[in-house]
Amino acid sequence: MNVNALAIFESVARHGNIRKASDELFVSPSAAAQRIRKLESELGCQLFERHSRGVSLTEKGKRLYKDVSAALGMLQRAVSDIQSDKNILTVSVPPSFGNKWLVPKLPEFRAMNPSVELYIIATDEIANFGNDGVDIAIRQASPPFDSQLEVVQLTQADLVIAYAPSYVDKKGQLPNNWDFRGYDQIDDGHYNWKRLSQAEPSFITGNLMTMNQTGMAIDTALAGEGFCISSRLLIERYIRHGELSVFRTLSIQSDKGFYLLNPKTKSDYHDVKKFKDWIVSAIADGTS
């Protein structure tokens, strides 16, 4: 049985609403609904009655909710007890943000805060603050967020088309305006090239290669294999070091910026405040 599916079930049951649960867990409503349907299929019974304004538990759903809620609460207490013994700050980040921005900057944070022991979780999975022991989550998301969370926007998702100079040296020249015929386009699974082609009438597509992670798309561009579309935040250090160049800053923008989220109950924790103050300052400074 998938623990994430049970966490989604617990949140949907508690809120009586799939959208509110998806906001709390940082997963799309469609993904949450799909997890619930799969759980119902695995159990062979209906857990929710669907209504126009939300959902309500069936009798079997009520029985499951009682036990799942207690079990998840027990897991959270166990995790919290272990973490309190070691004074560990648990930070959950998307893999691409972790690899491309956070890891290169961590020596700076550790030098400033040697007493803080970090546990970094790199995942695109949902962050359930009530059950998985996460103190801080950084997510590429869009408002609104759960009212129980303190939210800081770290940056807007400013998108750029980037390439390695070696790639253009190989091709001989840059594309003419929006004509990418004969050039290689690397997509990270967010379909920004498709959005660009819809927004720019003169856009002519080239050879498209799609990957399921932004970090892989950036690495492929760094290897001189084509143009990628990325949030500037993730590639700023490569631009500064001359490893990537910006072909264009895009007027189309992702509707999802980078946000730092933590439960309001942890806002006064010293280590949480130290990490938040540091990352906000580091991103505002923009150096790497």
pLDDT of the chain, 288 residues: tens digit per residue: 678 889 999 999 999 999 888 888 878 888 889 999 999 999 999 999 999 888 999 999 999 999 999 898 888 777 666 655 556 899 999 999 999 999 999 999 999 999 899 999 998 877 778 777 899 999 988 788 888 899 999 988 789 999 999 999 999 999 999 999 999 999 998 889 999 999 999 999 999 999 988 999 999 999 999 999 999 999 999 999 999 999 999 977 666 789 999 998 888 888 999 999 999 999 988 754
Burial of 3 (0-12, 13-18, 19+ CB in 10 A): middle
Q: What is the pTM of this model?
A: 0.68
Identify which of 19, 11, 70, 20 has the alpha carbon closest to the alpha carbon of residue 39: 11
- Is domain 87-155+256-285 classified as CATH 3.40.50.1820? no
Rama region for 55: left / alpha / beta (φ>0; ψ in -120 to 50; rest):
beta
What residue spans in the chain does CATH classification 3.40.190.10 cover?
87-155+256-285, 159-249
In terms of CATH architecture, what is 159-249? 3-Layer(aba) Sandwich (3.40)
What residue spans in the chain does CATH classification 1.10.10.10 cover?
3-79
Round to whole Å and give the CA distance between 239 and 228.
Answer: 13
Residue 175, preceding peptide bond in cis (omega within 30° of 0): no
- Is domain 3-79 classified as CATH 3.90.1150.10? no
